[in-house]
């Protein structure tokens, strides 16, 4: 299940615990516990954004 959780977060790092629980068909508590464990163990190092620099360049002109 950890791999599925990580896969979901790779697709949408801003997904809520509720959304993840629904997608993985488990309780919110299960997702929260797994996520906390993955973060505290160092398996998840952080959360980040991906930027489309082409859109930023066009928008700033």
Return the pLDDT at 47.
87
Give 3-59 pLDDT, tens digit per residue.
Answer: 999 999 999 999 999 999 999 999 999 999 999 999 999 999 998 888 888 888 766
Cα 15 to chain center, whole Å?
Answer: 6
Radius of gyration of the chain (CA): 15
Q: Which residue has the tokens 């599925």?
A: 4
Instruction: Give 61's pLDDT tier (boundaries 50, 70, 90).
Output: low
* Cβ(9)–Cβ(38) below 8 Å: no
């Amino acid at each position: 299940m950890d791999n599925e959780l990580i896969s979901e977060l790779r697709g949408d790092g801003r997904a809520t615990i509720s959304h993840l629980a629904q997608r993985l068909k488990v309780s919110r508590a299960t997702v929260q516990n797994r996520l906390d464990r993955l973060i505290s163990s160092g398996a998840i190092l952080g959360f980040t954004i991906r930027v489309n620099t082409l859109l930023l360049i066009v928008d700033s002109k």
